[in-house]
Amino acid sequence: MVSRVIPVDEFDLVIFGGTGDLARRKILPGLFRRFLSGQMPAGSRIIGAARSELEGDGYRQMIADAVAEFGGEESRNKKGLEAFLKQLEYVAIDARGEGGWSDLAAIVRQDVVQAFYFSVAPSLFGDLAERLHTNKIANAQSRIVVEKPFGRDLETARELNQTLAAHFDESQIYRIDHYLGKETVQNLMAVRFGNVLFEPLWNNHYVDHIQITVAETVGVGGRGAYYDKSGAMRDMVQNHLMQLLCLIAMEPPGQFEADAVRDEKLKVIRALQSIDHHHIVRGQYDAGPDGPSYREDAENPRSFTESFIAMRCHIANWRWAGVPFYLRTGKRMKARSSEIAVVFKDLGHTIFEGDEARHRNILAIRLQPNEGIDLQVTIKEPGPGGMRLIDVPLDMTFADALGDGAEDVTDAYERLIMDVIRGNQTLFMRGDEVEAAWAWTDPLINSWEARNDVPKHYDAGSAGPEDAMMLLHRDGRKWREIKG
Ligand code: NAD
């Protein structure tokens, strides 16, 4: 398969926090891949801006090292790397002071696409936004990219939105959620809205329930102190899982255009019902052979923060009335796996004698590993022995489907950055979406904090606390297996 690379317009991309972990691990290696693919025009420049004073080629060396460490196969392309590094610049800058701003103003051009990636702590967003204007660097067409966490509750998210809105129009703000940049997530929209097969079944007449699982094997070690102030609800559900839920549940937008898509997502969030606390299970991992317990990792022996959460949600609208959406996410689980499963209803009547087993169609959308979609269908078991039914997957693993071009499946970050340069906001969260998501999660968090709810224990390397299993068992259902 020949991959089609559509070059973007010439740009200057400034990465504030250009020496940080995210820039070195994801942003720069991703941009290097886009450079190699031919998508980045020759005159474009990437300008790292951070606190450190770096001598001479110090930044280029730092990024060469980062690409070698995190860039995968492509990092072996020495000639390509040399050419890429030539498009890199660096400015030492103080977000809170005046140092470095005139240097940046002298470098950034006004006649190409301008994007400013705020890969720094959110407490610096306001300073950066203001200084970009007082130093006459940004203009009415500039774009800014902001990272999660976007607030820690409705109030702080509103403040952040107001801070950014004081300097930039909503059409210039790109709130990144890398889950939306995944190939499968976009394919979910293609499957839903590009086929006649699924949409007629995509409702409470045919769908029994939907499961969304984001399981990680890593613990919080290393960033335990930060995580302990956040927890799985704030860190994962309020953003990633809710975005996936929106894409699964939204009405077809009138067109595939940023605000049309985001209007429909917003309606889903606003239609989410509040959840009774009996339908939320919070957990903390115990110590296991591979590492310490959550409380040890968080260095907080009395922590009540959840490293796992499972919940049953309902969307109050005609399409989804009565259909449970089960969400779960956790750390130190048995496998690294992210999946959305649409579980269809049982047949009303079976004509196959002796077929007691329940055969259900399941559409499983795998985000990781092996991005792809499979549809579980029932067929006759091949061979003699009568009409015995078995379930088999119709598998569309993108790596297989794309053959030799599989390695071209663009990483979420690089795809999203190219969308910023193109000025396409479809896969970015709008300010009102983020606020609506917090408006739904805040009361749930406040409620368990007021009750001093103690998270349940779970074994590291398991599928979470027993109570999470019960959440579905009580409804006569069960979670899908977490498979890596
Ligand atoms: P980091 O601590 O590794 O890097 C911070 C960067 O900010 C450094 O380059 C530092 O020089 C710069 N900086 C700090 N204070 C500054 C100042 N006053 N003036 C100018 N520059 C300053 O952080 P990170 O892990 O790269 O994260 C950056 C942002 O991205 C954070 O908001 C984080 O929450 C978010 N994020 C990170 C990840 C990740 O995987 N690292 C994932 C999602 C979101």
DSSP secondary structure string for all residues of 256-308: SSHHHHHHHHHHHHHHBPP--GGGEEEEEEPPBTTB--HHHHTT-TT----SE
**Average pLDDT of the chain to the nearest whole number:** 93
pLDDT of 189 higher than 70? yes
Q: Which residues line ligand 1 (CB under 6 A)?
A: 17-23, 50-52, 93-96, 119-122, 124, 147-149
Reported confidence tier of residue 1, pLDDT bands at 50, 70, 90: very low
Starting at the earlier edge strand, list the strands of the sheet with 88-92: 88-92, 45-50, 11-16, 113-118, 143-146, 173-175
CA separation for the pair 14, 451 (Å, rounded): 45
What residues pair up with 89 in beta bridges, in sequence order?
47
How large is the average pLDDT for residues 53-75? Answer: 90
CA separation for the pair 258, 429 (Å, rounded): 10
pLDDT score of 484: 81
CA separation for the pair 296, 371 (Å, rounded): 33
How large is the average pLDDT for residues 91-97? Answer: 96
Q: Whose CA is nearest to atom 40 of ligand 1?
A: 22
Q: pTM for this one?
A: 0.94
Structural Rg of the chain based on CA atoms: 24
119 alpha carbon – ligand 1 mean position (Å): 5
pLDDT of 405 higher than 60? no
Q: Could you report the per-residue pLDDT of 354-371, keeping only the tens digit for each? A: 666 678 899 999 998 888
Contact 93, 51 (CB under 8 A): yes
pLDDT of 408 higher than 60? no
Q: Could you report the per-residue pLDDT of 110-134, keeping only the tens digit for each? A: 999 999 999 999 999 999 999 999 9
Catalytic residue at 277?
no
Catalytic residue among 240, 278, 359, 457: 240
68 alpha carbon – ligand 1 mean position (Å): 21
Degrees, nearest 5: CA angle 39-45-49: 130
Determine the number of helices (DSSP H) and then strands (DSSP E) in the chain. 17, 15
Q: Could you report the per-residue pLDDT of 238-278, keeping only the tens digit for each? A: 999 999 999 999 999 999 999 999 999 999 999 999 999 99
**Could you tell me the two tokens for 423?**
């000025």
Q: Whose CA is nearest to atom 7 of ligand 1?
A: 17
